[in-house]
């Protein structure tokens, strides 16, 4: 029933459009309608093609161990889109959905803290890049007090476009907290 009703509405809409644009006086309106349709389509396609980026850990170093005082991951964000864009940085614990690189169970994984900083150790929350531009920044990992050692943690690092809010790039960091007694 719902499909028939929708089809009937679509046929009625098409017939109404035919009627509206069939008058000879509406030549200007026809051209205006086509021009607006063309502009809306062009803008929408141009915007969707302008959002593109890559987010990688320098030297493919997504896996590392850290002592209790923490570590740094060197990241590279590249705007491969066709216009300037600002990317909002975020981090999420994904222990439940990642797999540890040594094959161990993720049930014992721990939660760690992440901060984003630039080369001058200034805090970052977003990065603005011109088309084709890249920027290096760091994810600073710190270990909360009383965290169990000899455990893994998986953190998903995400850069979300402000131009296209549904576009984001991410990568997962696998951090192993070492036992300082064994080091």
| DSSP secondary structure of 8-52 | HHHHHHHHHHHHHTTSGGGHHHHHHHHHHHHHHHHHHHHHHHH--
pLDDT of residue 89: 98
Cα dihedral across residues 99, 102, 105, 107: positive or negative: negative
List 139's β-bridge partners, or say none.
73, 116
Inter-residue contact 118 to 138 (CB < 8 Å): yes
Inter-residue contact 76 to 136 (CB < 8 Å): yes
pLDDT of residue 36: 47
Mean pLDDT by runs of 10 across the 183 residues of the chain is 55 64 57 52 51 95 93 97 96 95 93 96 96 97 95 97 95 94 72
Q: Which residues of 115-126 are buried (b: 16+ CB within 10 A; e: fewer)?
A: bbeeeeeeeeee
pLDDT of residue 154: 97
Residue 140 three-state SS:
strand
Inter-residue contact 53 to 65 (CB < 8 Å): no
């Amino acid at each position: 029933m719902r499909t028939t009703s929708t089809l009937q509405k679509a046929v009625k809409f098409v017939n109404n459009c035919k009627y509206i644009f069939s008058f000879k006086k509406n030549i200007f309106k026809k051209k205006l309608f086509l021009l607006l349709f063309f502009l809306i389509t062009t803008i929408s396609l141009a915007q969707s093609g302008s959002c593109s980026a890559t987010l990688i850990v320098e030297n493919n170093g997504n896996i590392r161990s850290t002592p209790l005082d923490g570590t740094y991951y060197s990241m590279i964000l590249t705007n491969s889109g066709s216009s300037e864009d600002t990317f909002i940085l975020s981090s999420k614990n994904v222990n439940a959905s990642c797999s540890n690189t040594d094959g161990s169970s993720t049930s014992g994984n721990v939660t760690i803290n992440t901060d984003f900083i630039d080369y001058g150790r200034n805090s970052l929350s977003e990065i603005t890049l011109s088309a084709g531009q890249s920027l290096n920044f760091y994810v600073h990992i710190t270990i909360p007090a009383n965290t169990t050692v000899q455990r893994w943690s998986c953190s998903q690092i995400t850069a979300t476009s402000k131009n296209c809010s549904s576009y984001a790039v991410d990568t997962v960091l696998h951090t192993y907290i070492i036992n300082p007694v064994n080091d």
